[in-house]
Amino acid sequence: MIANETTEALVERICRAAKAAAPPLARAGTAARNDALRAMARGVRDRAEFLKAENAGDVAAGEANGLSAAMIDRLRLTDKVIAQMADGIDEVAALPDPLGGIERLSPRPNGLLVGRMRIPLVVIAIIYESRPNVTADAAALCVKSGNAVILRGGSEAIRSNVAIAGILREALAGAGLPEDAVSLVPRTDRAAIDALLTKEEYIDLVIPRGGEGLIRSVAEKSRIPVIKHYKGVCHVYVDEGAEIPLAVRVCVNAKAQRPGVCNAMETLLVHEGIASAFLPEAARALSAAGVAIRGCPETVRLVPAAVPAQAKDWGTEYLDLILAVRVVPSMDAAMEHIRKHGSLHTEAIITRDHGRAMRFLREVDSSLVLVNASTRFNDGYQLGLGAEIGISTTKIHAFGPMGLSELTTTKLVAFGDGQVRQ
């Protein structure tokens, strides 16, 4: 870092270097990028003690500043977390190369063969909070997809993020690729984010990861396209033809397996034809898992322990062991509730009626719609993408988990044999 360099000048320099690093990274073959990724993984493993020492400074500062136990847990780099970081980079290296493939190649009447070739987005800025492992995860996905990446983590993990990024950059350089393909903004003031969001001449896409406040702030200020989701108000609808033991098992998992994540169920909708048989049994299982219910009048009648729901409950992302429950007269009513209160994130139906399941799939607008399965499956790894950088509810250009393919775009290519336009 240059002495007395302003935040604006620092960000400009980082952006310029990332833009210059992107073409040679994209030109590097599959083997070269995979070798670099494996070097990055080795670097993380070999420097584990250094990473823990740097992370200890962040943890101590976090404890002194009153961070919650949960936040401290997310922040801490243990031997296990470091090993998982390195393994994650190796797993990305093992994934198929998303670049260069030509899709939908088809002949035109004049003999031209026209298709779409998959290419990098070029430079991606990722703005995130808390977990330092995001630094490694995001860098690995971007390198694999041929994108230079500019990382800006939260103040609570600055020492850890700087240390991780330094190791990754050294590994890239050692593998013969430009180290500026991975950059980290080493300043935590808000001015650094504001400066990044004005650099449309260098940055092609911004991906914010964190709380709703951060994401809305980025979306409002950015001159660059933003991939985002504000919150996960996810629903499970239990249809009248549902198998009750299956429905109970899915609902408990969707709510209680990990309640503080964006793909956890926040609202349970139950068809009135099955409510009296299903809800008491579901409530017992949910209560055993520590879940408190806020319900409509019919829910409160069937589950006396439930607290009457308020209007605000239907659109709330609790991120906690709290569940809103509503009995609905029909599947149409359930889908209307989702349209009104959902966040385009994840919705599920529990039913044995194939026709109703298919209608739900067609008509419910969400990045993932499931039949007879937990909302917790909206995750890149779980869905076979190998890894993800976040979940998009924007639809442009991606909808759902952002895996390697979603970190690319396509350009038209055409193969001719002397054709000229008449």
**Residue 264 to residue 338: CA distance in whole angstroms:** 15
**pLDDT of the residue at 1:** 58
Q: Where are the domains of the chain?
A: 7-228, 234-377
**Yes or no: domain 234-377 corresponds to CATH 3.40.309.10:** yes
**Per-residue pLDDT tens digits for 176-203:** 999 999 999 999 999 999 999 999 999 9
**Per-residue pLDDT tens digits for 26-38:** 999 999 999 999 9
Percent composition of the chain: helix, strand, coil (DSSP 3-state, to 5): 45, 20, 35
**Per-residue pLDDT tens digits for 325-374:** 999 999 999 999 999 999 999 999 999 999 999 999 999 999 999 999 99
**Residue 270 to residue 349: CA distance in whole angstroms:** 10
**In this structure, what are the phi and psi dihedrals at residue 225, rounded to the nearest 5 degrees?**
-55, 140
Assess whether pLDDT exceeds 70 at residue 168.
yes
**Residue 350 to residue 395: CA distance in whole angstroms:** 25
- How many CA atoms lie within 13 Å of 13's alpha carbon, on the beta-carbon side? 11
- 3-state SS class at 108: coil
Confidence class for position 396, pLDDT limits 50, 70, 90 = confident
Assess whether pLDDT exceeds 80 at residue 3.
no
Assess whether pLDDT exceeds 70 at residue 310.
yes
In the CATH scheme, what is the code of domain 7-228?
3.40.605.10
Q: Peptide bond preceding 397: is omega within 30 degrees of 0, i.e. cis?
A: yes
> Could you tell me the pTM of the whole model?
0.90
Q: How far, rounded to the nearest angstrom, does the alpha carbon of residue 403 sit from its chain's CA centroid?
A: 9
Number of other CB atoms surrounding residue 337 within 10 Å? 17
